[in-house]
Amino acid sequence: MATTPRRPLNPMDAAEALFKPTKKVAAPARETPALPNTKELVSIKIDSVVLEYFQKDGPGWQDRINDVLREAMTNS
């Protein structure tokens, strides 16, 4: 009964075996639930005039945007 050797005997085959891509099964993405009442860092695109409107009163503009979004969420 002839069996294939575990290691290639030909140096070219050995070199190709070293660089042969391996197929790994990707781990399923686990979504971690956000903690209640915490803020998350996100990136969104807002019209420049809208951004200027909230920034004109100085620091706290992100909180003001959050307040407006929360109000819109509860009123819908």
Task: List pLDDT tens digits, range 23-66.
Answer: 777 777 777 766 777 888 889 999 999 999 999 999 999 999 99
| CA distance readout (Å), 40 to 24, 32, 36, 55, 66 | 32, 12, 11, 20, 11
The predicted pLDDT at position 27 comes to: 76
Question: If pLDDT is split at 50, 70 and 90, which confidence band does 16 have?
Answer: confident
Is residue 11 in some structural domain? no
User: What mean pLDDT comes out for the span 7-23?
Assistant: 77
The predicted pLDDT at position 2 comes to: 63
Q: How many domains does the chain have?
A: 1
Is residue 53 in some structural domain? yes
Is residue 14 in some structural domain? no
Range of 67's domain?
A: 44-76
Dist CA 38 CA 41 (whole Å): 10
Is residue 23 in some structural domain? no
Is residue 63 in some structural domain? yes
